[in-house]
Structure 1
Amino acid sequence: MSGNGDESTAAPTPPGLEGQPEVAKKCADIVQQFRDGKVSKAVASTKIMQAVPTAFVEGSSGERGAQAYLEILDIVEKELAAAAERGRGRGGQEGIGPRSRSPSPPHGGYDGSDRRGDSRSPSPNEGDEFGGVPPRSPPPYDRRGRAGHRGRSRSPWDGDVRGSGSKRQRVDDSLLPWVVEDFIVERQLSAELQRTRLLLMEFRKDPKYVLGSILDSTRHISFPESEWTAIIKGQSIDLNKVISHQFSILHDRRQSESLGDGVQLVFGSSAPTKAITTQSDWITAWARATEALLLVFPHRRRELDAYRQYITDLFASSGEHVHERVILLDRKLRNEVSGRRDLELSDFAQFGHWERSFLSDHGAGLLESKPKAKGLSGRGAGGSSVAGGGSGSRKSLEPCKRFNEERCPTSKAQCRYTHICSRCRRGHPVAKCDRPSAVPE
């Protein structure tokens, strides 16, 4: 057998078969045999029930594990049937079904010319739209986030795009190990996580349209457009931009133009940045961010309220000199959660190692955020830094650039640079200096 069988072993253990990796592997191999046309569905179902010791015991863990694999068989059957129907509709091509599949070529899948010179079957994702797919499964979208456009499919159940004339070789999603893994893992996610994941999949079809719909809504709050975009894409919100937007009297005139392939041209002026430096700053910005998040994800109220209480408790239980670390921890946790689809901000049990990393004096996260030697400014994501405070640190007499831009996150005593005007060297930012800018040298 080709690498198909090997990849099936990468699937995680489904609910009910924890601690029985051999049984899970055997069931996954049986599913692959059915996919390859080596056994019928009836035979595969029987083998799965026989492979799981307690499959016939009602309410047992074995019954749940076997049911997960039987549902996978149903999906594979419907996908292959839909692919066969599509093949018959294209002029009597040779039959396509579970028994006509041969080992796939490298990269698996079809080229754009729709050649059928060999006997391999199409990938399961070539079935009719949503055929045999559970209601919670994501709709199809391409790399630009729009359904029905050319480009590599990002959804295992994407419709056929060959009619659009694309010559790009399709990826055979049946060979991607995470296709089956996602089906098993998502059954263990909370209802809120499943809902969030489904909405993000929907937004990715046309993020520009979703953004426009939000901005045109009568319920949307005043919020930075860049952070609305971050919410739509499932990214973390920059609270520095939120609080800057809330208190700024300047207009953000920045405009952007996408050049494709992830390249974006940004031009125009932008409002000065204010950084989150205190507990009060964080609470103010987080309240605003919560309003925006709940507009897009109303089901996340419990999660967001719990996270607010978690961070507030960290502030309350720490001295003010540690509050900068709490702010750094908050940023790290939100980045971590936004980068995953199986974690919520209320999963505090998963945050222990990050707490040690950022709140401990010798934590790796805290040390990494401190300014480096020889001219590094120590800016992290969002412009925050944690000034040394160690016995070996020396204060520079050079005016602090961020203080003059009114966005230095550290106090006068802790900052490595001197909080003085870069023009007159008095104790105010340059924006408040009454001395003429054209000063003779």
Structure 2
Amino acid sequence: MSEGHAIYFASAEPGHESSDANNADGGRQGSSATFDSNPGLPRGEHASQDPGNPNVTQQTADGDTNIISMGTPENGQQQTSPERNESNTGDLRNDDSPFEQESINLMDDIVESFQRKETTKLKALSTIIGILDSNTTKPEKTKDAAVESYSHTLNEVEALAASAIRRGQQVQQGLQPPGTLNTQTAHARDQRRDAEIDELISHISGESRKSKRPLSGDFFDTHDHAHDSDTDVEQSNRKRRVFESQMPWFSQEEEERRTGSKECEESRRIFALFARDPKAIKQWIQNSRTAPLGFPTSEWDNIVRGQAVNLDAVLSSLHHISAPKENIGCVGSTEISLGRSEPSKRVQTSGEWTSAWKATIKAIKFAFPHREHKLREYGEYIEGHFSARVQSSHRKIILYDIAIRNEVGGGQNALLTDAHRFSRLFSAIVMPDGVESDSSRLSSNRLTSRTGNKTELCNQFNSINGCRNSAEDCRFRHACKKCKRTGHGKENCDFKEGSSSKPST
């Protein structure tokens, strides 16, 4: 490699001739001759020139000899530059100086270092350029030719290494017994399969939530054009590039947001923040040391997404023995949440509603501090209806509360204390002649029949393992088969037949 690249260092400046390589200063041994501004000779070919002969004898790699005419004058004398002097001759003799030889050796070492993968191609080439730039005796054209040659050499080394790797992989695959599968190939195939499953699940999940989950842009407020350009990106449907500002109702919506409730505006701002990554927000809440303890995970999800809280689930979590189990299905390596089982308890009385609502206030206040006052005011409003009606009508008030909270959601567009908005719900559910009055009465009767009119005893309740359903949800009565009392099963009953002592309750 040194022999070929030395051509560029041996090239004289234009108008100068090259000197004999075998000078008294101890030039590089093994070179046939140096060249006169002719760096274009193919690598592996050597040329020599007699000082009295105007032609150059070129020795090729195959051993053939070519005569190259240098165009001497008719008198047979070799033409020299008029500017040639003693100092220029000295410079040419110094072409194979220790400094030049050291530079060539350094650049060859860099190429070998790249071949051993000890350095990158970019670093190797930049180092070579630095070495060439440090030589001020050579013209820029000669340096550029040397850089091009070394760059070509580095490319060849890289191509040969890549070819060797490919051949090695082919040999390795050919040596595998028939029927065996490369581990990396199997792993890549599994990854592709999992990715396809994830894409399918995401598509199904997205389609099912289109009518339920609002887009993140629904909560953005655009008061000025500068802010509108940023929020339009968040509000856009990425597939169809539809923006909220393009909707026909946007001008009216923008005016309503500007003049509407400041509390609703603050709620929309927080929901827009939560919509960026609901899963992360929910995880942070669960890991928070200041969040209310024991609040159901499913209801945290409803709060973050702006949906009504299920007070039955909250009531069941107040004194639960074990956490509610979540139904999870698997498709490949992907888990699918199928929702949680029905709450073990249901709100049936004013006292149960109050207990569940107080726990809900703490949770909503944690995520939306500005809503605390309105939440407590709404609690007093519902408790006032409880106290104003007989106990048999409390079920209607509970249904009335559910209807209000489902309509308000997370308080994005209305407040729970906007009673004038819910007058139709009150008439339909609470009033005796309301269209939903019969349904509330039938619902109350079903609850009564499930708890008060059960005659057949539950066999599971009287077994060692007990019944997995609560007394309210089970179709059979949870009472002891021995003493007929509630509160314990047959296996835990102390009553003995023929004994006059009272059984334990």
Q: Give TM-score scaled by structure 2 length.
A: 0.44
Question: Which structure ranks higher in relative contact order (CA pairs < 8 Å, sequence separation ≥ 6)?
Answer: 1
Structure number with the higher helix fraction is: 2
Larger Rg: 2
